[in-house]
Every structure is written in C-alpha cells, then in structure tokens.
Structure 1
Amino acid sequence: MARALITGVTGQDGLYLSELLLSKGYEVYGLMRGQNNPKRALVEAIVPDVKILTGDLTDLSSLIRALEISRPDEVYNLGAISFVAYSWENAALTSDVTGRGVLNALEAVRLYTHDDPSKVRFYQASSSEMFGKVQAVPQSENTLLWPRSPYGVAKVFGHYMTINYRESYGMHASSGILFNHESPRRGPEFVTRKVSQAVARISLGIDDSVTLGNLDARRDWGFAGDYVEAMWRMLQQDEADDYVISTNETHSIRELLELAFAEVGIDDWAPYVKQDPRYMRPAEVDLLIGDSTKARTKLGWEPKVHFPGLVSMMVQSDLAEQKKLAGL
C-alpha cells in the first residue's frame, strides 16, 4: 500500500487530494496545526480515513516526526497562508509559513531519507501569483516570475528552493504552478466563493448586495478537484519537473458575476454589486492565463470542469447550504 503525507490537509486541495489518494488505495496522513484546530472536524467528516498528525511548517522537528510516523512514499506540501490580501497585512508570517515552510519541508525529507533523497517523492504547491506583473501572455513554465504580493514572493522562494533541492540532492521534487482553482470547499474570503455565497443569499432575500474590489481583474479559473489529479500525476513520473496547471482560458470578475447571478435567474446584477477601494490590491495582478501544454502532453492531464460549470456548481452548493441554514 502506497503511503502519502499531506500538509495543508484542511484546505480544499487537501480534502480533494485526500479523497483521490484514498480512492487509489493509499494510506493517507494529514498534517494539521494545533491540537484544537477548528477544521479538524471538517477533515474527519469528509475524509474520515485520513490519519491526522499535528505539526507546523515553521517547526522542522515536527515535520521530521511526522515523516517518521507516516513513512510516506509521497509528500504533498499544500500548507501555506494562501489568502493573497492577508499577505500584505502579515508579510513576515506569510514569508515564514508560505516561503520558509517549504525549505523546512524539503530539509525534513532530505534528513529523513538519509542516503537516498529520491525515495520520497515531493510535491510543492507553487502558484500563478508568482507571475504577478506578467511578462508574457499566456504564462508557461519558462515565463519570467515577477510577483506582486508578499504571498507571491514567498511562493517564488519555495518554488526555486524546490528546484534547488532537486538539482543539489537528486530529490524527486516537482512543483505544480497552479492557476486559480475553486470549488464549493473554497474559503468564503476568496472572491469566487464570496460571490457564490452572496448570490445564494441575495436570491433567498437574506442579503441585498455584495461588496467587491476590482471587477476587471481577470483570472484563469479551474476546478480544484481536477487540479489535484495533476499533482498526483506529477509524482508518478520517472523524472521530477515543474508544470503549469491551468484551463488556458481567462475570465473577469464581471463574467463571474454574470454567470453566478444568471444561475438564480437574475439578469441585471449591477444593482446588487458594490465596489469598495478597501478590496483593491496595493499592486494588482490584472491578467493571468496559463499555458498548460506541457502538463497535457507529458502528464496526459486536462481539466474536466470548465468555467460555467464551475460557477454553477458553486452557486448551487451555496444555495443548498443557505437554505439549510435558514430552515427553508
């Protein structure tokens, strides 16, 4: 039986990846911060077969201990402070967890494996936010990185550290440069879930508006459930490498609003949407669109859920949840 250790198991990616690996017969361990983590119950409810370990990406000894207990064949480092807006307010903490945490995870694997660093395969969750002030459209594995947030800078550090450990120690360490990927499990602070939740509440008469920032920002949005399969496929390759994972399409916040409100029968969404400068980024990333040709060619991966279906899935999920909460 293959064994895997997932950091960041409480996030949407961690949950979908856990489901995928369990379906493939893996023994799955999930690393979680703190003994009283409020998301522990969520993990136990959705993926009860995951064995939960406590640890922290900023604590090297806890990572080594987790490796000794789980004895994994594969490590998926998904743990991070991942909300971009938060990273400006807490740049140092973001750097420690999202950046230096990758170094700790890599070093823990190196120390654990002793004389054969390649025997544990390592996945690093890199991000399209590393492209920031984009230097080419679309963005591929060879596009110059120009991050525009503390989160993006921290991800660049982790990305290059993964490459460095691969080249220095022969580790089977791959990075997935994932473009925005969403799902009904996305946190409500992220714009897609903020919109789907607000649309559900507005349609039920619970709220009368939603407040957003830049409506013209464009992103390449895919479904998180599709993207975790790409992570797994990377670690099944003979050679480690880096891959852009994307839909190769770009959509604006306005398009997101149009589809989401249409899902509940509202054609004119403008009266329900407010803008506030507080939700504008200090340095905006205006256009992100990936070129996932390499992943499609070498990994045989391609997205199954496209943008309209993703938006519909999220709105319908939030409608069901809000109706249940409201007793409707």
Structure 2
Amino acid sequence: MPEAKRALITGITGQDGSYLAELLLSKGYQVWGIIRRSSSLNTSRIEHIRRSSPEQESNFQLVYGDLTDSSSLNQILQSVQPHEIYNLAAQSHVKVSFEVPEYTADTTALGALRLLEGMRQLGVKARYYQASSSEMFGQTEADAQKETTPFHPRSPYACSKVFAYWITINYRESYGMFAVNGILFNHESPRRGETFVTRKISMAVARIKAGLQDKLYLGNLDAQRDWGYAGDYVEAMWMMLQQDQPEDYVIGTGETHSVRDFVEEAFTSVGLDWRDYVEIDPRFFRPADVEYLRCDPGKAKRKMGWEPRVKFHELVKMMVEADLEELKAR
C-alpha cells in the first residue's frame, strides 16, 4: 500500500480547521494539527474526531506550537515532514485587529513568513496553502472581486493578510515552491466563533425563541457580504493543492446579502419579526468598514470544477437550528 499523505494544519481548532481535518481524514490522510499551549484546551470543535474510531484517532495528532515562534514551527516541520501544509491560523477577528494590531500582524502576516521560511531552510517539499481573505479587497470599486482585482485593505487584519498573500507568491516565484493563496469570501457554519456577527445573530435568535434573551444589539446592518458554507470551502482548499500548477483562487458564491438580510432570514426561520428584537448599538461599528464584497468564482469553477452546494437560506437555517439544539442539550 502507498504511504498515507501527511497534512499539517495550523488553526485546526477553528471552524475551517475542524472541517478540513474531517475532509482529509475521510480521504485517508494522516492529519497533524498545531495547537497553542494554554491553561484550558480550546478543542471543542475537534473533540468528536479525537473520540472517534481507534483507526481514525491514530491518524489524527495534535502538537504544540505557535505561529509567533519559529523554533517550534521548525521542529514540527522537521518531525512531521508533511506532504501538504494548510496555514489557517490567524488573529482573524476584524474589529479586534484594530485593538491588537501588532499581535494581529505578528500571527497573521509574519506567521505565514515563518512557515514558508522554515520550509525553505529545512528543505520541506510540501505543498503550501495560505488562507487569504476577501477583506483584502476592502474599499473596492469592482462589482465582483476576482483574482486580478486590486486590494485596498481596511483593517490591520486585512493588511496582515495582504502581506501573507504576497509573501506566499514571493516564495513561489523565488524558490519554485508549490504555494497557493485561497482568497475565501465570508464562510460560516454552526462552528463559527461566537464573536462573529453571523453566529452572534444565530445564537441570539435561538435564545430569543427560547425566551432567554430580549434584544439583539448590532452595528452596521447595511454591510453586504458573499456568504457561503465553510464545509464547502475547505474542499476548495484541498482541490487547490491537487492541481498540476500552483495558482491562486478566489472562493465564494457570487451572491451578496446584507447583514439585515441575514438577520431577517434568521428570525423568519423561527417565525419571528426581526424588527421587534434588533437594536443598533454604535459600539459595534468599526473605525473603517467594508461596505460591499461579492466574489466572481468563475476561475475556481472553470479550472477545478468547484462550486458551492449550500445556499444562503440553507446556511442561515442550519446555524439557527444548531444553536436551538445546543440550547436544548444544556
């Protein structure tokens, strides 16, 4: 039997990392995930993998490391010798990045550089995936953003992602590495972090429906995003590393919806009128906001055959129902 492929995932405890780990394990990979050392384990999204069958569990390993610490990354690269590396870790909250800009840059921008430079120095011939973000487009004039659309980042997070994007291309062009960027537009799921607006909405709707909460306070309801399902998007990540040539791709649905649309869809799914429960709070406005993003995913469909399966209304309903179930289980 051929040797199982080894994949190394940073950010494995996050939304995307957990879905990607499931996908790779289902394809027979050995999956290694990097986690940071802390006093409490933040592994809730991957606990079901750790508790699964003995065979699958043996193909799933967690190792301690940190994107701000090159020595730990180099040690992991040397011991694992991965065939594929997925760099998903970041300080990924846009609003928080205004409050901790230096830390955001250290993890999100320089973290990518540390991984790539570690691969180069150690001669690790893995294929490398960099998680880039539609936030890099920022204040864009394009009706739909594609691979050639210029960037205008509007937050420390987005600026850090632009650095990571270009350093990935730099290492590809300078050293012949198979290194690619997946510029993913907003993608959500029941595993989305509770501080992100979509999950904040779905949790509030569940709590209001259950009589545990009276109001939902939000910021800019007019911001428009291209929202898809994270489970679909991790498949695109994997497909990018299976191509003959390393290329960058934008990944999204091609549809745009406002925060107001998300709110209305969520409340409607439980038979409530959102206007009775939602209030605007200026605290939730960003210093500089991105008003509109919409993906042109034509290249991904044309070259890889990738397209999203879960529709917007299905995604919102899935998230609300999952939060209702979680409340019942408590």
Please give the TM-score of this superposition, normalised by the length of structure 2. 0.95
Offset at 1:258? 1.0
| CA deviation after TM superposition for structure 1 residue 41, in Å | 5.1
Counterpart among 63, 74, 77 of residue 67 in structure 1: 77
The alignment partner of 1:141 has SS state of coil
After TM superposition, what 4+ stretches of structure 1 lie above 6 angstroms from structure 2? Answer: none
Distance 1:183 1:121 in 2: 27
2:185 is equivalent to residue 179 of structure 1: yes
Once the two structures are superposed, residues 65-102 of structure 1 have per-residue CA deviations (whole angstroms, 9 ceiling, x without a partner) of 11122211000000100011100000000010011111
Gaps of 5+ in 1: none
CA distance 1:47–1:139, change in 2 (3 Å): farther
Opposite residue 317 of structure 1, the aligned amino acid is A
Given that residues 135 and 144 in structure 1 are in contact (C-alpha distance below 8 angstroms), is that contact kept between their aligned partners in structure 2?
no
Q: SS state of the match for residue 172, structure 2?
A: helix
Q: Which residue of 2 aligns with 1:134?
A: 140
Report SS of the residue matched to 2:246. coil
* Alignment partners' CA distance in 2, 1:100 and 1:200: 39
SS at match of 1:133: coil
Answering whether residue 318 of structure 2 is matched by residue 313 of structure 1, we say yes
1:12-47 CA-to-partner distances (Å, cap 9, x unmatched) read 000000000000000000000115452135423345
Of 248, 254, 259, 1:248 maps to: 254
Which among 236, 241, 245 is matched to residue 235 of structure 1? 241
Q: How far, CA to CA, are the matches of 2:108 and 2:197 in structure 1?
A: 21
Q: Provide the residue aligned with 2:54 in structure 1.
A: none
CA distance in 1, matches of 2:280, 2:130: 35
| In the alignment, structure 1 residue 258 sits paired with structure 2 residue 264 | yes
> Counterpart in 2 of 1:149?
155
Gaps of 5+ in 2: 52-56
The SS at the match of 2:130 is: strand
Counterparts of 2:167 and 2:87 in 1: how far apart (Å)?
A: 13
Give the counterpart letter for 1:231 in structure 2.
M
Residues 132, 165 of structure 2: 8 Å contact kept:
yes
Distance in 1 between residues matched to 2:210 and 2:44, nearest whole Å: 28
Aligned equivalents of 1:161, 1:145: Cα separation in 2: 15
Alignment of 1:252-291 (within 5 A): 252-266=258-272, 268-291=273-296
The answer to whether structure 1 residue 56 and structure 2 residue 59 are counterparts is: no
Give 1:257's aligned amino acid.
Answer: V
Indicate which of 33, 57, 61 corresponds to 1:30. Answer: 33
Q: 1:2 aligned to 2:25?
A: no
AA matched with 1:55? G
Q: Counterpart of 1:57 in 2: which secondary structure?
A: coil
